Amino acid sequence: MIVRKFSEAKAYEAPNHRDYKSFRLFGAEMGGSQSLIFGISHFLPGGGAGPDASPPEKVYYVLAGELTVIVDGKETVIRQGDTCYIGPNESREIINRGHDVCTIAVAVAPVK
């Protein structure tokens, strides 16, 4: 078992993201997992990512606030307690259109 305190998380820059801060807890350079990368991201109002697509599948879990997810022109708002799956190479855009910071847990399958 590995327990990691949030204070041990490593900040990282994700491509094509704006007005956000992300922290990696497991996977990649943080170790502890070979099959997924897990982190926390905070999006300021107006912040977001994309539009783009990438090979790894992703799961977002909203811890606080709300996030608009746009896939194939369809907009869906996910709120605290909601989960969203983005498939491999599925084009998506995410935007915090709310007035509060949106915090999400992110699990990403590393590309092999």
CATH code of 71's domain:
2.60.120.10
**Length of the chain in residues, anyone?**
112
Q: What is the mean pLDDT of the chain?
A: 96
| pLDDT of residue 112 exceeding 80 | no
Q: Is residue 3 part of a domain?
A: no
Cα–Cα distances (Å) from 75 to 11, 43, 63, 69, 98, in that order, read 29, 17, 20, 6, 14
Q: Is residue 104 part of a domain?
A: yes
Place of tokens 């994309």: 50
**pLDDT bucket at 110, cuts 50 / 70 / 90:** confident
Q: Is residue 4 part of a domain?
A: no
| pLDDT of residue 39 exceeding 90 | yes
CA–CA separation, 53 and 86 (whole Å): 9
Using alpha carbons, select from 18, 2, 14 the residue that is nearest to residue 39: 14
- Domain span holding position 14: 10-108
- Residues 3-33: pLDDT tens digits? 999 999 999 999 999 999 999 999 999 999 9
Q: Is residue 50 part of a domain?
A: yes
| pLDDT of residue 94 exceeding 90 | yes
Number of domains in the chain: 1
Q: Is residue 5 part of a domain?
A: no
Q: Is residue 1 part of a domain?
A: no
Overall pTM > 0.85: yes
Q: Which residue has the higher pLDDT, 23 or 111?
A: 23
Q: Is residue 2 part of a domain?
A: no
